[in-house]
Every structure is written in structure tokens, then in C-alpha cells.
Structure 1
Amino acid sequence: MQQDIIDWFETEGRDLPWRQPGFTPWGSLVSEFMLQQTPVARVIPRLNDWLKRWPTPAALAASPAGDAVRAWDNLGYPRRALWLHACAVAIVDKHNGEVPSDVDQLLELPGVGPYTARAIAVFAFGAHEPVVDTNIRRVIARHTLGNADQGPPRTSQDLADMSALLPSPELSPAFNAGMMELGALVCTAKKPQCEKCPISGTCAWKNAGYPDHVGAKKNVQKKYEGSDRQARGAVMAVLRAADNTVTSTELEECWPDSAQLGRAVSGLLRDGLIELVADDSYQLPA
């Protein structure tokens, strides 16, 4: 099945910026941060703008963290912008401005977890490591384990399951990418297109007659509309658009629920995404 996926990926994989020859390790790191919980179509234009402005870790590290938060714009989960800025500073301070290739060193960078560290090591440096995201977990759950759904993440077990499938070191980067692409385009959560799948003939779930999911189910994110997350986003939008500081009175105009607005502001202060300045005003981090 490894070669079938690699062959399929070579002909059916999308033409994405981070798959182009010469794409830098720094570009790979930035793209992985942006792709966390954000669709590819929204990431590509922001990634291009980001890398034009900050083509290296040193370029971003030399800018205020608030510039990174403002440039993040509407990608969502703006703490990723702070982590990315902190990553750039750490790479400059500890790695001479070069993104490290070692998984353990990558894991020491701010905001870098098991998936991101291995994705950078594999896709930027060709490492022989298992990469596991929700798409890969779904393919393994169905094809190998015969289950309809991947369930909640189990980092150690998920890595072991993918490690057991890895082909030879020279083929494993393409296999990792192909598995991910298969889950994103064909073996999707709601409408899997088994007729287009290169490994449907050996799929345990298909061959068992598509049984219902057994075991724990993955967590479902709460609705965004009217949530505290939306309130936080409204506050951030006002601050990103402002040339100077923003007063509490001005913030009150962006969200009607005062209690929810208070939670949003408190949370943003706690996360370091905004700062309280003189006269009860707020700004993006300096």
C-alpha cells in the first residue's frame, strides 16, 4: 500500500507552495503553524505575504511581536502568531538563525508539538519519521484498523501506528505526504470517495462493510457564533485595525455582552496577545 499511495500522490497531490523545490525550512515552519486548524485556501495568500515580509527567522525576530499578531489578521487562534515570533527569537538565539532539523530540538521551540516537529523534520529535511495529523489518523483507522473514525488523539499509539507503516527512509517523506493528502482529499470525514482511493482494495473498514465507529469519539468543537472565541476575535480585530491604543469604551462597541467581553479581554491579557497601557487603554504586544 505504501507504493500505491506514493504513486497516487505523485499524480493527484495538490500543487502547494510548501511542496515546491527550494522551499525553505523556515517557510515550512511558518506554513505548519498557519495550517493548524486553518484551511489551505486561507493560508496560501497569508503565507506568501508573511514570507515576503519576514523571509528568515532573523527578520521576524527583529520585529515587535505585535507586528506578527497584526499580520496574522483573520487566520484565527492568534496565539500561533506569538508562538511563531517566539520561535524566530529562539532560532536566532539558540540555532544561529537556522531552523533545526532534529525533532528533539524542534520540540524545544515555543508552540511546536509532536506533529509540527516531525512535519518540519520530514518535509523540510527528509527525515525518516512518522508524521501524524487528523487526516493520517483517519486513513490508518479505516484502512489498517477497520474503524470508521480515528477517535481522540493518542500521541504515542498514533506515532507507533504510523511508524509501522513507514517504507524505506528515501520513500518515507513522500509516503507521509501522500497519506496526509489521501485523508484530506479522498478519505474524508463525512464523504469518503472509496472509488477514487488507491488502497480501497485492502481497506479493512470497506471490506468489513463500513461498520459504525467503535470506541471513543473525537472531540467536537463548540459552535463559533456567539462564543467567547468570537468575542476574542472581535477585540483582536479592533486592536489590529487601530493605529494607536484602544480604550475600554471603544472596545465596548465591538461586542454587546459585557460579561463575555470582560472574559475575552481578560483571556487575551493572560495570553499576552494584548497589553494594558495607561488610562485604561489596550494595545497589541510591543
Structure 2
Amino acid sequence: MRVLPVWEEWLRRWPEPADLAREPAGEAVRSWGRLGYPRRALRLHAAAVAIGQDHGGKVPADYTELLALPGVGSYTAAAVAAFAFGRRETVVDTNIRRVHARLFSGAALPSPALTAAEMRLAAQLLPDDAGTSVRWNAAVMELGALVCRARAPKCSACPVRDRCSWRAAGEPPPSYVPKGQAWHGTDRQVRGAVMAVLRLADSPVPAEMFQQAPADLGFEPSGTGVPLAALHRLNSAPEQLERALAGLLEDGLAELHQGGYRLPG
């Protein structure tokens, strides 16, 4: 798994929110590595700062207080309250939505976006007892991840297969085809390549470095050779690189310093 070693390193380096809050935000982005969506690292850092300022350095257990933290949405707030603190909260992720869709609605997949009707169903199904509700959330989530999978579900191993409305309906196909996000040739790919350079640079990277090979310029920031070569192999148009750099500045993932680009301080 890509996530596990990064998670373990984060906990080793920053076991408490205050440990992360003391670091520059750029260190969170650097340690996030190639997990994707690096703005989440910025939000984790901002949440750590807020926890120190507003909650005495302790992660709050209350759903509403969790929801008020930077970068925390309804799913994350419910999941943390339930799984970390044993609270009775309605946790609804993609796997739970798929189990509910097949078991109760007879659909192969849930709707493309979460609906109010799905949330009402999940709330109605949640056991009243807090401890049981936590186990329920975890069990349905695992059922969707391991058995009631999006592709090739293991119906023969499903403990509730005899109650499944989707099987009873003859396993009709989905009403839509899920579409993955494009990557090759997109601005997202260029942004990711630029971020790989910034994560390894130990000094600000001049703008011209992103456009020209280090050999043509006669110098390069230490450690950036491999990611710079990968960036140049994309042969991105100058305007696409400019959009990527401007977007990273706007999102707070990079900053200008001493005439070059670096991770936020």
C-alpha cells in the first residue's frame, strides 16, 4: 500500500497535533510525497494549528467541533467521532453507499453523487447503541470493500446475499459507467511533476528551470535532477507550465522566494 509507509512516518515524526503545527506547512506537503491531492497536507497542517489554538492540542470528539476544523467534511467528522471516540454517528463512504444501494435499492451502484435519501437510509439503519453503531459502520464499510466490490463482487461469500435486492432483481447492470479522471497530458500531471521538483529542492527553484534542462542553464538545485528530467519529458507547452505554477501559488502549495519557487514556509 502506498499510504501505509507515509502514515507510519507521519506518526513517527508528528505523534501529536502540536508537533505538526510547529513545522512549516511546506514540511507537511513534502512528507505527503506522491499520495496525490497535496492540498490535503496543507489542510492537515491547518487543522493541527487549529487544534492547538482552539482545543488545547487535543483532537475534539464532537462531530460539530470536528466539522469546524480546516479541511474536515461531514464524512471525516463522522468517521473520526465514530472510530476514534466511539460516538454514534452516521458514517457514509463509497463502500457503504454501494452496499446500501444493492441490498436495499436493487441498484448495481449508488448514484454518482451522495443524495439526501441515502443519508436518511443510513441514519435509519444505524443501531441506537453507540458501541453497536460503531461496529455496524465498520462492518458495512468492510463488507463493501472486501465482498460487495464495485467490480466482481463476491456474492457467494456475502453474509446477507439472501436479502440482497440487487441479486433478487437479477443483478441488473449499472445505470451509468463510472468515469475515472484523466491524467496524461493534463494540468494535474504537470502540477504533480512540478511538485515533485519542489519537494526535493533544498533552495528556491528559478522559473526558467522548469522550462529548460539544467544542463542548458549550467546549474540545478541540489537533488532535483531526476524529477526535473521527468518534468521535461512531458514536453508541456509553456502556457501549461505557467498555469501549473500559478495554480500552485494560488492554492498555497508553493510560494515565491528569492526569485524562485519553493514549498510554503
TM-score above 0.5, yes or no:
yes
In the alignment, the residues of structure 2 paired with residue 117 and residue 157 of structure 1 have an alpha-carbon distance, to the nearest angstrom, of 20
Contact kept, 8 Å, 2:43 with 2:70, in 1: the verdict is yes
What pairs up with 1:260-275 in 2 under 5 angstroms? Answer: 260-275=240-255
Contact kept, 8 Å, 2:32 with 2:38, in 1: the verdict is yes
Which of 176, 184, 191 in structure 1 is aligned with 2:145?
184
SS of residue paired to 2:172: coil
Contact kept, 8 Å, 2:204 with 2:258, in 1: the verdict is no
Contact kept, 8 Å, 1:132 with 1:159, in 2: the verdict is yes
The residue that corresponds to 2:136 in the other structure is: 175
* CA deviation map 1:24-44 (0-9, x unaligned): xxxxxxxxxxxxxxxxx1111
Which of 141, 148, 153 in structure 1 is aligned with 2:108?
148
Query: TM-score by structure 1 length?
Result: 0.82
Say how many residue pairs are matched: 243
Are 2:211 and 1:252 equivalent residues in the alignment?
Answer: yes
Greater relative CO (CA pairs within 8 A, separation 6+): 1
In the alignment, the residues of structure 2 paired with residue 200 and residue 264 of structure 1 have an alpha-carbon distance, to the nearest angstrom, of 48
5+ long unaligned stretches in structure 1: 1-40
**Structure label with greater radius of gyration:** 2
* CA deviation map 1:225-275 (0-9, x unaligned): 222111110000000010111011112252421222111111111100000
* Aligned AA (2:210): L
* CA deviation map 1:24-81 (0-9, x unaligned): xxxxxxxxxxxxxxxxx11111100000000000000000001100000111100000
CA RMSD of aligned residues (A): 1.4
The residue that corresponds to 2:226 in the other structure is: none
The residue that corresponds to 1:226 in the other structure is: 185
In the alignment, the residues of structure 2 paired with residue 240 and residue 232 of structure 1 have an alpha-carbon distance, to the nearest angstrom, of 12
In the alignment, the residues of structure 2 paired with residue 57 and residue 180 of structure 1 have an alpha-carbon distance, to the nearest angstrom, of 27
In the alignment, the residues of structure 2 paired with residue 278 and residue 53 of structure 1 have an alpha-carbon distance, to the nearest angstrom, of 29
* CA deviation map 1:149-204 (0-9, x unaligned): 11222253332221111123221111101111111111111111101111111000
The farther-off stretch of 153-162 and 258-267 is 153-162
The residue that corresponds to 2:165 in the other structure is: 204
Which of 42, 47, 53 in structure 1 is aligned with 2:7?
47
Query: TM-score by structure 2 length?
Result: 0.88
What pairs up with 1:1-286 in 2 under 5 angstroms? Answer: 41-167=1-127, 168-214=129-175, 217=176, 220-253=179-212, 254-255=231-232, 256-257=235-236, 258-279=238-259, 281-286=260-265
Q: 1:179 to 1:57 in 2, by over 3 A?
A: same
**Shift in Å, 1:219:** 5.7
5+ long unaligned stretches in structure 2: 213-230
The farther-off stretch of 172-181 and 252-261 is 252-261
In the alignment, the residues of structure 1 paired with residue 209 and residue 92 of structure 2 have an alpha-carbon distance, to the nearest angstrom, of 43
Identical pairs, percent:
52
In the alignment, the residues of structure 1 paired with residue 5 and residue 38 of structure 2 have an alpha-carbon distance, to the nearest angstrom, of 17
Contact kept, 8 Å, 1:142 with 1:203, in 2: the verdict is yes
In the alignment, the residues of structure 2 paired with residue 259 and residue 177 of structure 1 have an alpha-carbon distance, to the nearest angstrom, of 46
In the alignment, the residues of structure 1 paired with residue 26 and residue 134 of structure 2 have an alpha-carbon distance, to the nearest angstrom, of 35
The farther-off stretch of 187-196 and 165-174 is 165-174
* Aligned AA (1:87): A
In the alignment, the residues of structure 1 paired with residue 113 and residue 85 of structure 2 have an alpha-carbon distance, to the nearest angstrom, of 25
